[in-house]
Every structure is written in structure tokens, then in C-alpha cells.
Structure 1
Amino acid sequence: MRLSQALLDKLLGLEVYISSTDGIGGTIKSSHEDFIVEEISEEGMLCSISSELDVVEGSGNYTWFVLVKRGLDTLAAIRKIARYFKISSKRFSAAGLKDARALTAQLVCVEGVSPEELLSFNDESGKVKILVAFKRPYKLMPGMLYGNSFKITIRNICLAACEIEKRIYRILNEIVEAGGVPAYYGYQRFGTIRPITHIVGRYVVRKEFEKAILTLLTEIFPHESERAKEARKYLKDTMDFKGALELFPKTLHHERAILYYLIKHPNDFFGAFRALPLTIRRLFIGAFQAYLFNRVLSERIKSELPISKAVAGDIVAVLSRRGYSVRVKGVFRANASNVEKLNEFIKRGVAVLALNVFGYDTVLCDGMPGEIERKVLRREGVSIKDFRIKHMPEISSRGTLRIAAFHPENFKISEIGSDEFFKNKSKVSLEFVLKKGLYATVFLREIMKPSDVYKAGL
């Protein structure tokens, strides 16, 4: 274990690495082809970026299809397809959302469009393709996937090939010895250009709506556009919402919506927050919950508690498996009389150590795990009951559980050698599979250990 020195890691609660070996450095996402993500369905079907699936044709009102996209996010790709067929994007659904800065393949579903029609889709930009389409009697819902297969190239490495390989395998051995990679929420959950979603969420949970709104509007970060920086600085210095509206770029839709509201309703910061779309408001709460989870997990590791083994006071989730589908069958609280048995279940792979993602229904842990939870909540100035937001119940959150650690599956180094993009530098290509809800960048940060997360492309 070692502490991270990266400023963004400290800001987002990813305070430690589980491995202590120096990372290989480098950068990812130098091109979209350097970050390939192929979804794996609940049945274990791999959605390939290049080849059609061998699927059994079914029947029903829903058409499922493999969406391949390059350089844009899942929702933007769906909107392109919806515009092509002149239908609402609300008729589409996806099992998961994929990164924009990548080449990805995933399952998407639409109601009322035949497979033949879908396969006629043509995107002149070449960024979106539909490879295969087939009928199903039920809708594809969020979370209906096993996970994702990754093929990632790390470039611009200032090490020889033999040293890269040696460090990677040392890190992997340390991860195994420690019980896995900490299952942090990754950078995408918070944003890397303006990593403030959790800060806004904290203010909302604390009912400090003016601070939430002003943080969203006026906090300036170095990687924003110059025009956005100027607009935020002007507003911070003058509190002139009408003048700021003239300066804020039209691409900043949410900030402009808030400014419009405050011009018409001065000082109504609660109403200004409510003027945002529900999905965005929930995103802020979710980001704060993710940050708290990261903080608790970091404190646990620093306190030398295990991340894949229960101690008295912990939560253990017992699993049921059916093919590639995994469900939680039951949840147990570890105590002196059952902790040994629960750890036996964990060792056999039929249970996992889980941590709280705080919400108003959360029951805090006992023992040392509970002490860590209470310490983090005190430092952030919130309590469990604060997640029930009485005057805005639609963004209240009951809370949930999340695994504490994970192991990448089917890991291999597929290529290592000279980098054709960066002169006199090395590159390495990695392949691995992660279950749904886990972040490739959280695993990669252990391998790379960057001093600047943004420059590393994470």
C-alpha cells in the first residue's frame, strides 16, 4: 500500500494504491483505438467491434442491436440513430453507458423498429454503426450485462520493455496478495475537467443550495476553455447573473438554465437547482455518495483492515450465480460468532465483502468498520438522515451496497514494444475483463500511478 500524491485522487477520495511498486507512467486514449470496450451480455455474449454475433433470431416487440461507436458517448450515438429514423430517443434503452473517448460495442434496444430497418442505418460521419439486429420479447434494461472486455494501449512510457513487464507483474502480484483492487468509483463518476459534482452534491445534501449553485457556476478549473473561465470569474466577481448569461458559452446548457432562472427569480437558489433536469440533480447526489464510499474505503486500507475479508462489524453479501448472471441472495452482518464462516464463503467465491453506499436507509456497521464510517460522515458534516431530502424527495437516496475489491479477469499483456506515436518511448497493450459497475481506470491507476491524472488520460 502507498499513498497517492495525485491532487485529483485526493480530491475524489482515491487516497491510496493497494500496490506499492512504482507504476509505469504513460498515457492512455492517445487515439480512440487505444481504448476498446466490448460489452459482455448476461448470457456471456461478447459484442465485438468488428464481427457479427451468432445469435438465434427471436420474436417480440423489441429489437436488440449491437451499437458500435467511436468518439462519442452512448446517449449521443442513440440520438443520432433516433434522428435518422425520426423517432424519439426515449424509445431506446441500453444495458450500460460507454465512454466517449473510446471505440466501443454494446447492446442497445428499441421498440417498434424492425431489425431490417435498423440495419439500413447509415451515419455519414462513420462514428456510429449497427452490426447486427434481432428481435426479443422483452426490453433491455440498465444493468442487464455481465461486464466489459477491455483492450487498452498505454503509450508514452519512459521505460524499457523488460522493466514495464516486470513492474506490471509485480503490481499484479501485490494486488492478489492484498485481496484485489480497491473498488473505488472512478474518475468518470465525478468528471476530470471540472471535478465538482460531489462537492455540489454535498451542499445539496446539507441543504446549502446557494453554495451548491455558486460552486457549480463559479468554480474555475485549469482544463476548461478560456471563455468558460472568463465567464465564471466575471460572475464570481460581480454576481451579475444577467451579464454572465451573455458570457457563458452556449454549450454549458445547465449553467445557462440556472442563470435564466436566477434572472427571473433572484436569490431562489433552491428553485434554481430544481430547474436542472432530474437526471442531473440525481447525478450530484450519486457523486457525493461515491466520494463518501471512496473515502471510507481509503480509510479502511490506511487502517490496515482487509478489503476482501470480513472483520467483526462488516457486511458480507452472499451471491447466487446462474451462468454469467450474478445476484445478491442475502446480506449478513459479521460478528464474533459467524465471521469465520462468512470468510469461508468469501474464500469459496460465493460471497463478497461489501461496503455501504450511504443513503437514508443505511444501517451503519459495527466495530472498527463502523468507526471509520462515522468518522468520514462527521468530517463531511452529514448524517444518514440527510439523504432524505424532504423538499425535493425525487432526489432522496435510500443507499445501497458495493463490493470492496475486485480482480480483473483474463488479464494478459498482448503487446509491448516501441511507441510509434511518441519518439523514443515505449507502449504496452493490456487485455482484461471487468464485471459491471467496475472502472478500468481504477485498475489502470494501480498500473500507471500517474502524478497528473488528467494528463495521463484517466
Structure 2
Amino acid sequence: MDKEVTASVSAPCFMSDHEGFYGSIKNSTRDFIVTERNINGHLVNERNVLENVSPADFSGQTCAEKESKTDENVKPSPIDIIREDNFITAEGDVSDVVACQNTEIDTACEEPIELDVVFGQSVNEALEQFAASVELHSAPRLDKAVASAELSLGSFPEKHQRATVHRAVRHNFPFLMTVTNGIEIIVKKDPHYLELAQLVSEEEAHDFFRFIDAKVPNTLFTFKKDDNKEHRKAVHHFLSRRFGKLVETKSFSDVSSGGSQTTAITVRFRERSKPAKKRTAADCQEESLRYTGFTLKKENLETLEAINYMATGLGVLPSDFTYAGIKDKRALTYQSMVVKKPLHLGRLQGNHFQLIIRDLRPHRADSPTGLGDLVQEAVDNVKVKGFVNFYGPQRFGASQSVQADEVGLALLKEEMNAKESLALMPEHKVRERLMLRALHRYGMGQEGCARGWLSLPHGMRVFYIHAYCSRVWNQAAAFRLQRLGRGPGAVQGDLVHIVTAAEEADNVYSLRQVILPMPGNSVKYPENAVGAWYRERLAKDGLANCRYRVTQLKLNIPGCYRPLLVYPRNLTHEVQGHTEQPSDEGSLAPPAGSSLALSFDLDASCYATVCLREIMKCDP
């Protein structure tokens, strides 16, 4: 929780007044087990997950190739990539998930494969240097020596390995092309990229070639406005000559609010030339096999890190994996995943938690209440009164010297080259490698830093801004409870809709129905002291006139609403250990090693650690 809020309004941030107790969590990842509930409310349970499978069992084979070597009645073996103190287990479970395919995919979310994992350090460094030497020569001045230069990336005997290399190089360096010579892969400057970069900006050429490589149906690419008809004609001719079988182009005009007309070229993928035939049951079954749903079991790994290892092991892009939510690192977690796009972030009903709190003891050594009674009172209170729906510390990177919300604020203010934002990135391998690689390529100036941020996937870029908005929400919730009380009813100006004075007097709405906005460009703020607090808080951070759009980073933050309170469901508990014995002073002393087992369900985006804080009345 926010430091200034914790210090000044700690008591009003709780919904009940029981005494609480001390204890420790996450002594082991097995003490903190999180199992997702899917959109239908079913637990994503461990079923036939195999552990301790050697990575060698998967080397050089795709999922389909490995499945073809098994008995027809046996499910394909899971992926299990093990390294030192953490592991991933992905349970294969081919599912009929084609019905929930998503064709509205933002190509900005495409994630690059870690090239140093694909090639190894020496080859990757050679590729980086080759790319830098090519890119240093701008398109109009590219000399013949650079244009004809090439680099061997080595030999790749497996077809899926070569496919991975082609996709990875193209995604990271759109201005390069890869060609296969037997089993050897050669990389060199793409002459078609060079030609387009002479007609449009290099940024547009980058983005266009990534659009072409992604080949996502029903998506469009629009070049920047261009009012020169002859220039547009040249661009149309290039696109038709080079990509005419794949895409079609058209110029569209638009009239601005000032009355001036602007024109831009839009590109879209061609539809099938022949009408689609009626699909048979066999066709549907074949199509369903293109998507694999599975349960990801991970321990001591962040979700994005786990995806990166699986993508490398299977020879696909990280963006080919979709999931409903990011799970805690210091825990044993189970969650649904699908390879090839049908599952959306947030497409889950919630999570089921199984927790062990160890070394229980009362807050006061002379407490007259037994530990069992303290726990019972705490559990009963949270069942009835709930807890404040704060974002947990993991939302902000609590262990970092510069937290994620500080980075998000800098981005909202378009301070791309803020020292804290770049030099002190969170210590997460995937983000750190992507950012440092981009900064090495583009430099530390304003433009270089912006391009560095653009090297991160869309979900990572927007994460930092969401962290800032979450911090503001936490502070707003604490202020709402301190200034306007803890209920039981909503007060005038609260958001359910906007509560009126008459509705407040008649207790039409309860406190559990109150919502608070996450800052953004599409939200309303409460029409009471809380709304004024939001305006003052945002102005203090220099965001009084913020549009919540960061054009340079292709980010738009509409905002959303979050319930003020949340109530755990199916909450059960058991105090484990011997019965307390009277101490010399007469109070009941808990036995050494007492622990509390808790089991409960929370809605999506609600934090178990925050629920524990309400129960224990201290930071767990």
C-alpha cells in the first residue's frame, strides 16, 4: 500500500476492528498456491501434469512432431523446462477452443523472441553489430558495399528451427531479410525495405513490414497523412508491385475540425478470391487442432518469463501465447493458456487461493484472547464486512528502488528519457534485455528512448501507466473511507451511478456497491470530496490537462472503474498446531510452529495479500 496513505490513515483503511495477529507467508512457494477459475467458474486444476521432464526430451521437435511419436490414444507429453530453482510445466490438452478465436488483434502487442536465446551470445552480438552497421547508413545514402553485405547465422537442420530464426530476425530487425541456403541461414539488407524507406519514414517502414509479417486477418495499416498525389501514386505502385497478391491499398480523405482535408494510404489484406466452402465436421476438427489449450503450472517464475521459455522451446513467438491474467511470482500457480490467440487478458472469473501462514502469534504478548479465537474473529469479520479492494504491492514492484508507478507517471508526462525510468528498470530479464538492447541501438536521446520503449510489447508499456493509475486509486480509496466514513451506505456524490442526497438519506445503495475510477480519458469522477481529491492529486503530479494518450508509445488509457470493497467467497480456515497453554503470566501462549491454513476465492484483479492484511491487521 502507498507509504503516505499507510502512515496517515492506516486504521480507516480496515473495514473491521478486531485485534489481528502476526505470521509469515511465502516461506515456500508451496505455501501460496493460486489456481485460476476460468470464465465458467471452473478451477484450472492440475490433472496429469508431469514434472522433471528433461528439456532434451523437447529439443528439435515441435508439438506436432512429438505427438506423432506417441501412441494414438495417449495425449502429447507436456513441456517442462527446468532451470535451477524454478520450473514451468505446461500440460498438453488439445481443446475445442476455435469458437472463441479472436480476429481483432492489436499487432502492436507482438512480442519479440529473445535472440540471444535463439542464437547464443556470440552469434547474437554479431547480428546486433551487422544490423547496426546497416542501419547507420540511411536508406537514401546506402552504398553498394553495405547493401550487398551479408552475415551467416549458422546451420539449422530442423525446419521449425529455421522458421523460428526467420520470424525472430524479421520481427526484431524489419529492415533485414533472411534466406535459406540448404540448412544455413543468411541475413542481409532487405532491398524492398530500402525502397519503401526512400518513399516514407523509416518508422513507417518498420511498422509496415511488421504488419506484413504478422499477417493478422481483418487488420489495417495506415501510413501518415500525405497530400502529395504523385507521392501517393509512387507508394501505391510499390505496394502493388511488391505485395499486390497479399494486400490491396486505397487512399482515404478526411476533413479535420479546422476544415482542411488530409489524405492517407490504408493497406489491408486481400480476402479469399474464392468463396469459402461450407465447412465439414472434419474441417472444424482440423482447424481446432491449430489451437492448443493447456494448464500452465509455474513456480518461482513470472508469467511473462515462463512464456518466453516456452516460446523458445517450441519455436514460436511469445505473442502466440494468450492468457487471462498474470500470476504471482513467489507462488505455485495454475492458469489456463492457449497457443495462438483465442484467450484474452481478463477472461477469467477469479482465482482460488490455498495459503499457509506460519509462526502465528498475537500482536500483544499479554493478549487475553487465545490464538484460535483471534483467528476465528478475524475470519468472521472479513466474511461479513469484506476488505478494501487495494492493489497489492506486487502491482508496483515493491522490491525495486524505483517503482513501476513512478515510471508510469514519467511516461504520462512524456518524459521518455527520465533517468529513473530507464537506468533503473525493474530487474526482470525479459523487459531489461529488450530495453537495453534498444537503447544500445538507438541511443539515449529523446527519440532513441522513445524507440527503446516501443521495443517493449504493448502490454509491458501500458503496465507502467496502469501502475501509476493503481497508486492513485489506492490513495483515493483510503481518502474516501477516511473522509466519508465506512458506511454502511453510499453517500451523496459516490459513484454507483451518481448517488443523490435523497438516495443517501434512504440508504438506497450500500457501501459495497460503490466504485471508484481509475484515471483515464473516459471516466467520470465522484461528485463529492473524493472527486475534488482526484483533481488536486493529479494536478500535483502535473497531470491536470493530461489526455491519457502517449502518442509516441502508441498508448491510450481510457480508464475504468473498480469496486471499493471486495468479499472473499468460500472462505475456510484451520489453525494447525497444538492447543495453547497458559503462560507464567496467565495469558494463552501459542505453541511454537502454529500455522493457519486458509482457502478462499477472489474475483479477478483482487489481491490475496490485501485480504490477509485485513485479517491479520498487519502486512503479511
TM-score (norm: length of structure 1)? 0.69
Matches within 5 A, 1:132-143: 139-143=342-346
Q: CA deviation at 1:157?
A: 2.6
Instruction: State the AA in 1 paired with 2:345.
Output: P
What does the per-residue CA deviation read over 1:107-137, in whole Å, with 9 as the maximum and x for residues that have no partner? 11124xxxxxxxxxxxxxxxxxxxxxxxxxx
Change (3 A) 1:173 1:380: farther
Q: How far apart in 1 are the matches of 2:354 and 2:347?
A: 22
Compare 65-74 and 387-396 and name the one that shifted more. 387-396
Q: Hey, what does 1:285 align to over in structure 2? A: 465
Q: Is the 8 A contact 1:307 1:404 kept in 2?
A: no
Distance 1:405-1:213 versus aligned 2 partners, 3 A rule: same
Matching residue within 310, 330, 338 for 1:81:
310
What is the deviation of 1:26?
Answer: 1.7
Distance 1:66 1:271 in 2: 36
Matches within 5 A, 1:38-437: 38-49=35-46, 58=96, 60=288, 61-111=290-340, 139-159=342-362, 163-175=370-382, 179-194=385-400, 196-210=403-417, 212-214=418-420, 216-217=422-423, 252-253=432-433, 256-257=436-437, 260=440, 264-266=443-445, 271=450, 274-275=453-454, 277=456, 278-306=458-486, 309-316=489-496, 332-339=497-504, 344=508, 352-383=513-544, 385-389=545-549, 391-392=551-552, 394-417=554-577, 424-437=592-605
| Secondary structure of residue in 2 paired with 1:146 | strand
Quick one: which amino acid aligns to residue 73 of structure 1? E
Question: What number of residue pairs does the alignment pair up?
Answer: 370
Q: Is the 8 A contact 1:313 1:366 kept in 2?
A: yes
In the superposition, relative to structure 1, how do residues 387 and 164 fare at CA in structure 2: closer, same or farther (>3 Å)?
farther
Q: Name the aligned partner's letter for residue 148 of structure 1.
A: N
State the one-letter code of the partner of 1:214: E
Equivalent-residue separation in structure 2 for 1:89 and 1:49 (angstroms) = 23
Please give the alpha-carbon distance, in whole angstroms, between the structure 2 residues aligned to 1:217 and 1:364.
35
The offset of 1:290, in angstroms, is 0.2
Measured in 2, the distance between the counterparts of 1:398 and 1:13 equals: 29
The one-letter amino acid paired with 1:21 is H
Matched, 1:25 2:22: yes
- 1:13–1:295 Cα contact (<8 Å) kept: no
Q: One-letter code of the match for 1:372? A: W
In structure 1, stretches of 5+ residues that fail to align are 112-137, 229-247, 317-331
Listed as ranges, the gaps of 5+ residues in structure 2 are: 50-90, 97-284, 579-590
The verdict on how the C-alpha distance between 1:258 and 1:105 changes in structure 2, with shifts beyond 3 A counting, is same
Paired residue for 2:136?
A: none
Paired position in structure 2 for 1:234: none
**Mapped partners of 1:276, 1:10: distance in 2:** 36
1:375-401 C-alpha deviation (Å, 9 max, x unpaired): 433443422x41433543622311111
Distance 2:35 2:429 in 1: 34
Cα distance in 1 between the residues matched to 2:415 and 2:318: 35
Deviations 1:351-379 (Å, cap 9, x if unpaired)? 83211101122222212332332343344
Letter of the structure 1 residue corresponding to residue 419 of structure 2: I
Q: 1:78 to 1:269 in 2, by over 3 A?
A: closer
2:614 corresponds, among 446, 449, 453, to 446
User: What is the distance in 2 between the residues matched to 1:398 and 1:143?
Assistant: 16
- Give the CA RMSD over aligned residues: 3.9
- CA displacement at 1:256 relative to structure 2: 3.1
**Cα distance, 1:296–1:7 mapped onto 2, change above 3 Å:** closer
- Is the 1:12–1:291 Cα contact (8 Å) retained in structure 2? no
Instruction: Give the Cα separation in 2 of the matches to 1:217 and 1:64.
Output: 38
Pair 1:265–1:40, CA change in 2 (3 A): closer
Cα distance in structure 2, aligned partners of 1:43 and 1:57: 15
Greater Cα radius of gyration, structure 1 or 2? 2
Are the aligned partners of 2:439 and 2:449 in contact in 1 as well (CA < 8 Å)? no
Contact residue 300 and residue 372 of structure 1 kept, 8 A: no
The one-letter amino acid of 1:436's match is A
Aligned to 1:432, the other structure's residue is in SS state: strand
**CA-CA distance at 1:265 after TM superposition:** 4.3
CA drift of 1:28 comes to 0.8
1:434-455 deviation per Cα after TM superposition (whole angstroms, max 9, x unaligned) = 01111111111222344xx5xx
Q: Identity of aligned pairs, percent?
A: 26
Contact residue 35 and residue 43 of structure 2 kept, 8 A: yes
CA distance in 1, matches of 2:4, 2:23: 17
Q: Distance between the aligned counterparts of 1:65 and 1:432, measured in 2?
A: 24
Deviation for aligned residue 1:215 = 5.2
Q: CA deviation at 1:144?
A: 1.5
SS of the residue 2:549 aligns to: coil
Deviation for aligned residue 1:306 = 3.5
In 1: Cα distance, 2:595 partner to 2:312 partner: 40
